[in-house]
Structure 1
Amino acid sequence: MNAERNEGESAPRGPKTITVPLGERSYDIVIGPGLIDEAGTRIKNVLPHARVAIVTDENVARLHLDRLRIALDSEGIDHNAIVLPAGEKTKSYGSLEQVVEAIIEGRFERGDIVLAFGGGVIGDVAGFASAIVRRGMALVQMPTSLLAQVDSSVGGKTGINSPQGKNLVGAFHQPSLVLADTALLDTLLPREFAAGYAEVVKYGLIDRPDFFEWLDENHREIFAGGTARIDAIAAACEAKAEVVARDEMEEASRALLNLGHTFGHALEKVCRYDAARLVHGEGVAIGVCLAHRFCAHLGLAPDEDARRIEIHLSAVGLPTRIQDIPGEEPKVDDLLDAIAQDKKVSRGALTFILTRGIGKAYVENGVDPQTVRGFLEQELSQ
């Protein structure tokens, strides 16, 4: 992987660029403030003659769509916008159909661009549409949430939810460019920013304990919007780019990026994707805590590491236990049913990302469902 680099020697505080090295399909992740105003120029440099189908949601459209339109107009780029409702429930067959039909009706061609302008939900739906319309269109990701900037916009995973579970329908489809405008994060509600931060912490917990230590020391500046925010996003993107380069299709080590997600996705499903109760990043926060407590329960990891992670996530306002979710407490049977539908299940065997401590995650196939049941029963009895 190319090392991160500053663009322009005279602008040390300018955007940082991380390259995802996939041969002829390599692409850049550009990270920094003000990139929305440069979108037309940067898109034209990569795909000079393409029209653009913008896919966004109502919240992002209200706040930022006019600026994006101006940036595209300044370079003479023809564009249409498709505006969807905000929220996890938009990751559905109905929304996918709406986007696909709007792209076709707009007479966008295979060489044109689908521009995903929003958080992880929009990135997944728009990305999936770009993968299947005319058997594949170009994709540009412009993530507007912290979670999307450090995770879902990078690596080519796209998809929608099924009534049976999260992210069960989709395709791998890499973008041609990712523009992560860090200034757009200033418009996020504190809860949304904190939810995205859970995915940042995840990278330290997988295999970068020094990064977790740095986050522990610098999380206040990250939340305040200082230069540490750009550094944290760049470090997370670099970590993910390295994993994607090794295992693009998640056949082996890329599964590590799902640390905490088996529990987290199950919690989202039993909450019926109700954002008032639980958003994805909060599910991940609880999930990584559950994963570390589960490993401590099995004698694989130190109790102290699990407690330290809980303290860190609690300090930034994230939930760390199932009991932190408002509303009716989930039932163990419902959680196990959701876990059994996880996309990492192979031939009916449960696959978990386990850990021997902070920065020591690994993939474990064939985890005993009864062991998981006993652990969850213990968690819910506390």
Structure 2
Amino acid sequence: MTDTSAKSSAALENASGAKRVNVALGDRSYDIHIASGLLSLAGGLIKPILKQQRVFIVTDENVAKVHLGTLKAGLATQNIEAFEVVLPAGEATKCFAVLESTIDQLMAQGADRNDVVIALGGGVIGDLTGLVAGLLKRGMRFVQVPTTLLAQVDSSVGGKTAINSKIGKNLVGLFNQPEMVIADQDVLQTLPVRELRAGLAEVIKYGLIDDLSFFEYIELNAEKLNAASPEALAEAVRVSCESKARIVSEDETERGKRALLNLGHTFAHALERANGFGPALLHGEAVGCGMAMAMRYSQALGLCSGQEADRAEKGILALGLETDVRKLAGGPYEANALLEHMMHDKKAEQGKLTLILAKGIGQSYIEKQVDVEHLLAFLKTETAV
């Protein structure tokens, strides 16, 4: 453990059920702190990495109303001055215009390369802020403070930062690892049910990728997870973060195994793009349906049994997520349009589409030779009314 990590970890002594997961990336390694009450302890966690006794917080209007005051109070205990930029909530915030305005606001407040930016919010704020930090004055350090389940188990970990373009989701971005991730479990108790379920889609993903035992844990604890049981959620966050940390440590820039983390996402991003990234369809809702589609397509290709695909779908349904694209919010969805959006996916290379498919639960793999005509026929079946 580095001296900075040791000092930050000392701040966790008073936290309830504190856990620490390390993302091992050499000199860019960092810790994910998981516990209740961390917003109030944020000053002690962050102070060891500061060169100046101030931070710049980027958040959104919804999160600011609930959590900004608590975070600022936690920073004030260590005499850390906090400036803030409050943005509109929603996926539409991940765009060039807001990227530019956020950078301008931070510079107007005096932010420089010796400062630290804090991303306080869900995946949208985390993705945008990480990109802002990577670009502003050729790079500032930043800290992820995820306030949604989805962000705690997925988007805040691993250094992917991006905004959307008119062509597709997350197409403009860079890899920029945070200094640390502060996952306060108390904030999950304030989540609307819909946001909680959207996050559970990313949780069950880790079981479907390569961890059958975790999938079985989710099957057994679906009711507790849906009820936001603190114990069940804390365990889900821990295992999910450990899974992602392991994969990111092996393949930081997604040249190989890390692509498995996109199980269902090529379908999901197409659904989101067809919906214009509108509020009718949350990212996690699209991922839940997308993973079910990926399992059904794997079955259609003869890769996995119908029993395995059905079991996966039932597991997703048990978390309150829709798995039938014909019933999915934001529709109706059309096969040809979905295929076109899928062809703009980041994993597509030289006009060829890559999908994450599965030979069974916990047996996902990367398929780079997708038969587009066969996929279109599958999509037509999926969207037929």
The code of the aligned residue for 2:232 comes to A
Structure 1 counterpart of 2:24 = 21
- Shift of residue 327, structure 1, vs aligned partner: 4.9
- Contact preservation (8 Å) 2:15, 2:36: no
Scaled by the length of structure 2, the TM-score of the pair is 0.95
Scaled by the length of structure 1, the TM-score of the pair is 0.95
What CA distance in whole angstroms lies between the structure 2 residues aligned with 1:247 and 1:327? 34
What CA distance in whole angstroms lies between the structure 2 residues aligned with 1:12 and 1:37? 10
- Contact preservation (8 Å) 1:55, 1:83: yes
- Contact preservation (8 Å) 2:159, 2:178: yes
The code of the aligned residue for 1:216 comes to E
Structure 1 counterpart of 2:5 = none
Structure 2 spans left out of the alignment, 5+ residues: 2-8
What CA distance in whole angstroms lies between the structure 2 residues aligned with 1:328 and 1:104? 41
Please say if 1:262 is aligned against 2:266. yes
- Shift of residue 109, structure 1, vs aligned partner: 1.3
Structure 2 counterpart of 1:182 = 185
Structure 2 counterpart of 1:361 = 364
Distance 1:12 1:51, change over 3 A: closer
Please say if 1:99 is aligned against 2:102. yes
Structure 2 counterpart of 1:136 = 139
Please say if 1:77 is aligned against 2:80. yes
The code of the aligned residue for 2:345 comes to D
RMSD, aligned α-carbons: 1.7
The code of the aligned residue for 1:231 comes to E
What CA distance in whole angstroms lies between the structure 1 residues aligned with 2:212 and 2:319? 19
What CA distance in whole angstroms lies between the structure 2 residues aligned with 1:146 and 1:160? 20
The code of the aligned residue for 2:310 comes to R
Structure 2 counterpart of 1:320 = 323
- Shift of residue 64, structure 1, vs aligned partner: 1.0
Structure 1 spans left out of the alignment, 5+ residues: 2-6
- Contact preservation (8 Å) 1:123, 1:158: yes
What CA distance in whole angstroms lies between the structure 2 residues aligned with 1:193 and 1:324? 20
The code of the aligned residue for 1:197 comes to L
Structure 2 counterpart of 1:298 = 301
Structure 2 counterpart of 1:240 = 244
- Contact preservation (8 Å) 1:222, 1:229: yes
- Tell me, what secondary structure is at the counterpart of 2:369? strand
Give the stretch that moved more between structures: 63-72 or 133-142: 63-72
- In the TM superposition, what are the counterparts of 1:138-177 in structure 2 within 5 Å? 138-177=141-180
Please say if 1:53 is aligned against 2:56. yes
- Contact preservation (8 Å) 2:198, 2:285: yes
- Tell me, what secondary structure is at the counterpart of 1:343? coil
- Contact preservation (8 Å) 1:55, 1:116: yes
What CA distance in whole angstroms lies between the structure 1 residues aligned with 2:156 and 2:27? 19
What CA distance in whole angstroms lies between the structure 2 residues aligned with 1:256 and 1:362? 7
1:297-343 CA-to-partner distances (Å, cap 9, x unmatched) read 01001111111122122222111011122354111111011001001
Structure 1 counterpart of 2:121 = 118
What CA distance in whole angstroms lies between the structure 1 residues aligned with 2:50 and 2:352? 43
Distance 1:121 1:10, change over 3 A: closer
What CA distance in whole angstroms lies between the structure 2 residues aligned with 1:76 and 1:185? 27
Count residues with an aligned counterpart: 376
- Tell me, what secondary structure is at the counterpart of 2:39? helix
- Shift of residue 77, structure 1, vs aligned partner: 1.1
Structure 2 counterpart of 1:271 = 275
What CA distance in whole angstroms lies between the structure 1 residues aligned with 2:16 and 2:53? 31
What CA distance in whole angstroms lies between the structure 2 residues aligned with 1:57 and 1:11? 28
Give the stretch that moved more between structures: 168-177 or 77-86: 77-86
Structure 2 counterpart of 1:4 = none
- Tell me, what secondary structure is at the counterpart of 1:347? coil
1:256-310 CA-to-partner distances (Å, cap 9, x unmatched) read 000000000000000111112x110000000000000000001001111111122
Structure 2 counterpart of 1:252 = 256
